[in-house]
């Protein structure tokens, strides 16, 4: 496993990081708690020392499970990445969307990152995680009702207090990062990125490279689509936001599976699965520091970690990119 620094922060993380949204249940169906704990342990034992979570993932449940797992791991060798700025317990800021918690109760999600709220959320995260510091504290989504400078001031305070080692953002555009930089030195930006969703390469990647900021890529497998396991006619469960998304139309699923068939021989030559090849490609792209990958059990966690052993030569990356250049997906 390769370990990489987040920006200039001094925080080093595993290039493949455990994504802990699914184990929190919310919008994903969850995982058995025992399986989730075993997945975290297996990840750590196989070199994945970093875990990315958020209070919103199960309204605290994901963080609580990670806190339980941390009791069996050396805290100084594990990097905890969590977030703030999505409130379900406070109607303040900008209304984001309606949802349901794990008990099927209706909840309203608000984007709010006022200074006092950020500080309060940090205390709640520390309590659920059972730790006295967070390695990377990230705003989950921009809050248009709060000046960016105010949110960044809160991160500066928390870092001065030793409660966080570094601060980052999620889903920020380059211009928002530039504004944040006037108040606080960010370590990273967590954004969606995959073989079939590469829009950040136009502006955000160059900005982050120029300013020595890390990019943490989420959904590198395009929420399962790049595993090759989804077929036309696939029926998504109730509430699954993939239904109706342009990537998951029958036509686009066929096109993507055709592309995957072309790179399958390369995966086999490496002794790797398609998923492992896709993850390896992701962390070897310019400007990409980390790929977040979820796992519900130990076997999935081990498979994800082993993607870190797949080394692609420049000509192999070029081959994959050439195949991608011919992939023309239909718009809805």
Q: Which residue has the tokens 């068939």?
A: 261
- Produce one character per residue of 128-141: b if its CB has 16 or more CB atoms within 10 Å, e if not: bbebebbbbbbbbb
Of 153, 182, 146, nearest in space to 167 by CA: 153
The dihedrals phi and psi of 163, each to the nearest 5 degrees, come to: -85, -20
- CATH: 1.10.10.60, 3.30.565.10, 3.40.1280.10, 3.20.20.100. Which one for 3-223+279-311? 3.20.20.100
Q: Which of 57, 112, 184, 218 is catalytic?
A: 57
Cα separation, 163 vs 179, whole angstroms? 24
- The pLDDT score that the predictor gives to residue 27 is 62
The dihedrals phi and psi of 281, each to the nearest 5 degrees, come to: -60, -45
Cα separation, 7 vs 183, whole angstroms? 16
Residue 220's CB is within 10 A of a number of other CB atoms, namely: 27
Question: For the chain, which ranges sit under pLDDT 70?
Answer: 26-31, 238-241, 332
Q: Which residue ranges make up each domain of the chain?
A: 3-223+279-311
Cα separation, 166 vs 153, whole angstroms? 13
Cα separation, 112 vs 151, whole angstroms? 9
Helix axes 33-45, 61-70, angle to 10 degrees: 50
Please say whether the dihedral angle defined by the alpha carbons of residues 53, 133, 75 and 13, taken in this order, is positive or negative: positive
Of 87, 126, 5, 62, nearest in space to 294 by CA: 62
Task: Give the CA distances from residue 211 to residues 170, 207, 233, in Å, rounded to whole numbers and listed in that order.
Answer: 16, 6, 44
The H or E element that residue 86 is part of is strand 86-87
Cα separation, 139 vs 142, whole angstroms? 7
DSSP for 203-220 reads THHHHHHHHT-EEEEE-T
Would you call 57 a catalytic residue per the annotation? yes
Spatial contact of 23 and 30, defined as CB atoms under 8 Å apart: yes
- The pLDDT score that the predictor gives to residue 176 is 98
Average pLDDT over the chain, rounded to an integer: 94
Spatial contact of 99 and 109, defined as CB atoms under 8 Å apart: yes
How confident is the model over 93-104, as pLDDT tens digits?
Answer: 999 999 888 888
Task: Give the CA distances from residue 141 to residues 12, 23, 191, 303, in Å, rounded to whole numbers and listed in that order.
Answer: 23, 20, 10, 30
Spatial contact of 14 and 49, defined as CB atoms under 8 Å apart: yes
- The pLDDT score that the predictor gives to residue 22 is 85
- The pLDDT score that the predictor gives to residue 240 is 67
Q: Name beta bridge partners: 216.
A: 190, 290
Prediction pTM value:
0.95
Per the document, the length of the chain is: 332
């Amino acid at each position: 496993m390769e370990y990489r620094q987040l920006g200039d922060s001094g925080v080093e993380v595993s290039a493949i990081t455990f994504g802990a949204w699914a184990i929190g249940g919310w919008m994903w169906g969850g995982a058995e708690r025992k399986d989730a704990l075993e997945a975290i342990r297996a990840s750590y034992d196989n070199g994945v020392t970093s875990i990315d979570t958020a209070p919103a993932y199960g309204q605290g449940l994901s963080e609580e499970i990670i806190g339980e797992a941390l009791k069996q791991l050396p805290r100084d060798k594990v990097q905890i990445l969590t977030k703030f700025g999505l409130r379900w317990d406070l109607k303040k800021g900008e209304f984001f969307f309606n949802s349901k918690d794990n008990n099927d109760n209706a909840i309203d999600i608000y984007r709010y990152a006022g200074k006092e709220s950020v500080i309060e959320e940090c205390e709640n995260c520390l309590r659920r995680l059972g730790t006295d510091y967070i390695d990377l504290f990230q705003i989950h989504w921009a809050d248009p009702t709060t000046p960016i400078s105010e949110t960044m001031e809160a991160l500066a305070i928390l870092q001065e207090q030793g409660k966080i080692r570094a601060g980052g953002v999620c889903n920020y555009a380059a211009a928002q990062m530039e504004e944040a930089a006037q108040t606080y030195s960010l370590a990273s930006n967590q954004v969606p990125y995959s073989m079939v969703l590469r829009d950040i390469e136009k502006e955000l990647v160059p900005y982050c490279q120029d300013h020595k900021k890390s990019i943490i890529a989420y959904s590198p497998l395009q929420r399962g689509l790049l595993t090759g396991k989804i077929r036309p006619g696939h029926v998504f469960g109730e509430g699954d936001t993939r239904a109706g998304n342009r990537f998951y139309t029958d036509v686009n699923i066929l096109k993507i599976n055709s592309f995957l068939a072309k790179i399958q021989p390369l995966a086999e030559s490496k002794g790797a699965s398609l998923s492992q090849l896709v993850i390896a490609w992701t962390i070897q792209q310019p400007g990409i520091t980390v790929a977040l990958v979820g796992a519900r059990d130990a076997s999935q966690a081990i498979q994800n970690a082993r993607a870190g052993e797949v080394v692609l030569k420049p000509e192999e990356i070029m081959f994959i990119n050439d195949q991608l250049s011919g992939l023309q997906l239909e718009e809805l």
